[in-house]
């Protein structure tokens, strides 16, 4: 695979790439590393599958994948006690392998985040970060940010230090992590990090309930969990916001763009012959074009999306137990 093919895999389906102008130089390095961090605070859901698909792109591009199960972050963010988080991490590790990331290195946050050098760097960054800046960086990530605790301000500084501690070349995250990464770019020099990574930010899938929110495990009707049965998946997709011809904050189309096409390369819409027969799309944008023209009906789209999601979710569900 040449450098342009690797770049295409890395950049495709992202909404932003920070430090993109350094991509060619970075790809000349040997033993490249990319990571994505997950709070193991609940079940894997569709929102997580977006970044998992991007990690699979990196894996195809020959880059070593690291998955951080951020148990200390989750605890600081008030997502569960240690007994709960320990149980969740075992499930997450099995789920990641079933999703196709068996070659990935899985790291637990507390395995390295309690070392003296790590803590010292976090304190150095704390000296140069205002409380207001710390709170702003967490606005899209923290629970109950209006009543933010000091723990939730330490959180982004730890996330920045993770990049140094894991010696990363690339960082994958949803666009909701952008403010944390922007803060990191400002603070890297304070902790002696000269090898700045490239940040690949993915989109966020809109809540199944429609515009104004994202998928959240705290709102079951907004998302699809890997624990959901095929019957439940079909029911949730059939109820999902998907107005005919409308592409704005349409979660069903976003699932196609961010999950199905990256995973399968093409999407087949099964339709009765009396409604025109099956449709096969090699490109998301062709599918979107037909949806806008109302050649593709929301119900036909939903039926096929549910089938594809079951194909992705079934092995993860089985591994989760």
Helix 298-320 and helix 284-292, axial crossing angle in degrees, nearest 10: 140
Mean pLDDT by 10 residues, the chain (321 residues): 93 94 92 96 91 96 97 90 95 94 95 97 95 82 71 90 97 95 95 94 94 80 92 97 96 97 96 91 97 96 97 95 76
Q: Which string of DSSP letters, residue by residue, matches 129-187?
A: --HHHHHHHTTTTSSSGGG--HHHHHHHHHHHHHHHHTT-SEEEEEGGGHHHHHHHHHH
pLDDT at 144: 64
| Geometric angle at alpha carbon 164, from 119 and 39, rounded to 5° | 75
pLDDT at 150: 85
| C-alpha to C-alpha distance for 115 and 118, rounded to whole angstroms | 5
pLDDT at 42: 86
Predicted TM-score (pTM) above 0.85: yes
The architecture of the domain spanning 3-202 is 3-Layer(aba) Sandwich (3.40)
pLDDT at 214: 81
pLDDT at 137: 85
Question: pLDDT, tens digit, for every residue of 241-291?
Answer: 999 999 999 999 999 999 999 999 999 999 989 888 999 999 999 999 999
The b-or-e profile of 161-181 (16+ CB within 10 A means b, else e) is bbbbbbebbbbbbbebbbbbb
Residues 317/94, Cβ–Cβ less than 8 Å: no
What is the topology classification, in CATH, of domain 220-320?
Tyrosyl-Transfer RNA Synthetase (1.10.240)
| Domain limits, CATH 1.10.240.10, in the chain | 220-320
Identify the sign of the CA torsion 302, 174, 199, 68: negative
| C-alpha to C-alpha distance for 67 and 266, rounded to whole angstroms | 27
Residues whose CB falls within 8 Å of the CB of residue 215, separated by 6 or more in sequence, listed in order: 45, 46, 47, 204, 205, 206, 207, 208, 222, 223, 224, 251
| Domain limits, CATH 3.40.50.620, in the chain | 3-202
Strand pairing class (198-202; 170-174): parallel
- Residue 202: closest CA among 300, 77, 56, 44: 56
Q: What is the dihedral of CA 214, 15, 65, 38, to 10 degrees?
A: -20
Residues 88/33, Cβ–Cβ less than 8 Å: no
3-class DSSP state of 321? coil
């Amino acid at each position: 695979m040449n450098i342009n093919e690797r770049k295409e895999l890395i950049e495709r389906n992202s909404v932003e790439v920070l430090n993109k102008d350094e991509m060619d130089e970075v790809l000349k390095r040997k033993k490249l590393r990319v990571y994505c961090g997950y709070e193991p605070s609940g079940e894997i859901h569709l929102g997580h599958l977006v970044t998992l698909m991007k990690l699979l792109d990196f894996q195809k591009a020959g880059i070593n994948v690291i998955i951080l199960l951020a148990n200390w972050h989750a605890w600081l963010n008030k997502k569960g006690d240690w007994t709960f988080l320990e149980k969740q991490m075992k499930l997450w590790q099995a789920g990641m392998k079933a999703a196709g990331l068996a070659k990935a290195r899985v790291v637990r946050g507390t395995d390295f985040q309690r070392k003296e050098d790590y803590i010292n760097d976090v304190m150095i960054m704390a000296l140069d970060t205002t409380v207001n800046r710390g709170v702003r960086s967490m606005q899209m990530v923290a629970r109950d940010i209006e009543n933010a605790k000091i723990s939730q301000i330490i959180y982004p500084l730890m996330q920045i230090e993770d990049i140094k501690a894991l010696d990363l070349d690339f960082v994958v995250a949803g666009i909701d992590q952008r403010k944390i990464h922007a803060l990191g770019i400002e603070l890297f020099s304070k902790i002696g990090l000269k090898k700045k990574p490239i940040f690949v930010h993915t989109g966020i899938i809109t809540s199944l309930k429609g515009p104004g929110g994202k998928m959240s495990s705290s709102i079951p009707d907004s998302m699809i969990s890997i624990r959901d049965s095929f019957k439940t998946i079909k029911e949730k997709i059939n109820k999902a916001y998907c107005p005919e011809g409308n592409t704005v904050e349409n979660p069903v189309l976003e699932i196609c763009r961010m999950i199905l096409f990256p995973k399968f390369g093409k999407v087949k819409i099964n339709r009765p012959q009396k409604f025109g027969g099956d449709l096969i799309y090699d490109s998301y944008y062709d599918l979107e074009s037909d949806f806008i023209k109302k050649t593709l009906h929301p119900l036909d789209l939903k039926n096929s999306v549910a089938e594809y999601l079951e194909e992705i979710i079934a092995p993860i569900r089985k591994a989760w137990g």
